[in-house]
Structures are given as C-alpha cells and as structure tokens.
Amino acid sequence: MNLDPANIKCVILTHGHADHVGGAKYLQDTFKPHVMLSAADWDMIENNQNFRGPKPVRDMAVVDGQKLTLGDETITLFVTPGHTPGGLSLLIPVKDGGTTHIWRRCGEARVCSSAPTSTTRALDGSATSPRKPVPT
Ligand SMILES: [Zn+2]
C-alpha cells in the first residue's frame, strides 16, 4: 500500500485488552502518533498488574460522541461499555464511487443487538447507509 508509518497521526484502540493494544506502545515510541482510548480503559490498563505486553503511555482519552477529523472525513467515536469498561464503537464515512456511506465498527457486539438507545441508533447503519457491514 506504500504507506509510511511515520505518517500515522493517531492510533484508535477500540478497547484495552492486551490483544487489541499489542503494538500501540511500539507505534507510540517509534512514530509518535497520538494513542486514543477511553478514560475507563486507560484506567483498566494502568491498574492491571497482570497485563500481558507493553502498555502504551496514557495519551488521549476519548469521550462519548467525540469527532475526529482525518483529512476531509470526520469519524465519530462512542464509548460503549460492555466488553470492557470503556470500549469504543465508531462511525466512519467511506466512499464508494461518489456516494458516501457510513461504516460502523461496534467495539461491543452486544451494543448493536440491544434495545435502541441514542448511541445504538447512531450506530445502526440503516438510517445512514444502505450497507450494513457485519460487526466483528
Ligand atoms: Zn477484548
């Protein structure tokens, strides 16, 4: 893809389990991007004496509904506790030809199947996109 990791501006960690945080410390130390995670999951990492792997240094704490503009696109981050105290879900505009769709990334699968709330309605791609990628 011819991408230079020195150009990474931020790393969004969807939650603070070691298997999802794995390389963040390396990226942080090597390329100096901002590392984003909810405050609750920063706390979880810092207080976990049994954390496996290197811990990134606390940087940006995401708040519910926070917008992040990357180039000409703005993504929205939601704090969706469940899998961890402060897991994140994201709405990401993606382009298909000239049409913009909203891709959702549910950090906690139960959020997407629970009773509608303002957050889950925002994460429900049916209102904003004809495409509904399967949550992973
Ligand atoms: Zn996990």
At residue 106, the pLDDT reads 75
Q: How far is the CA of 32 from the centre of ligand 1 (A)?
A: 24
Cα of 83 vs centre of ligand 1, distance in Å, is: 6
Higher confidence at residue 126 or residue 86? 86
CA of 62 to the centre of ligand 1 (A): 18
Residue 48 is predicted with a pLDDT of 94
Each residue's pLDDT tens digit, 13-36: 999 999 999 899 999 999 999 999
pLDDT higher than 70, residue 8: yes
- Selected from 3.90.1580.10, 3.60.15.10, 3.90.230.10, 3.65.10.10, the CATH number assigned to the domain covering 5-127 reads 3.60.15.10
How far from the centroid of its chain's Cα atoms is residue 69's Cα? 14
Instruction: Give the Cβ contact number of residue 25 at 10 Å.
Output: 15
Residues 97, 45: Cα–Cα separation, whole Å: 40
Please tell me the distance between residue 21's alpha carbon and the centre of ligand 1 in angstroms: 10
Phi, psi at 4, each rounded to 5°: -100, 115
The whole model's pTM is what?
0.77
pLDDT given at position 109: 53
- Phi and psi torsions of 10, nearest 5°: -155, 150
- Look at 10 and 127; give whichever has higher pLDDT: 10
pLDDT, position 108 = 59
Find the 68 Cα to ligand 1 centroid distance in Å: 23
Q: How many CB atoms lie within 10 A of CB 16?
A: 27
Specify whether the CB–CB gap between 21 and 53 falls below 8 A.
Answer: yes
Ligand 1: distance of its center to the CA of 14 in Å?
A: 9
Residue 50 CA to residue 32 CA, distance in Å, equals 26
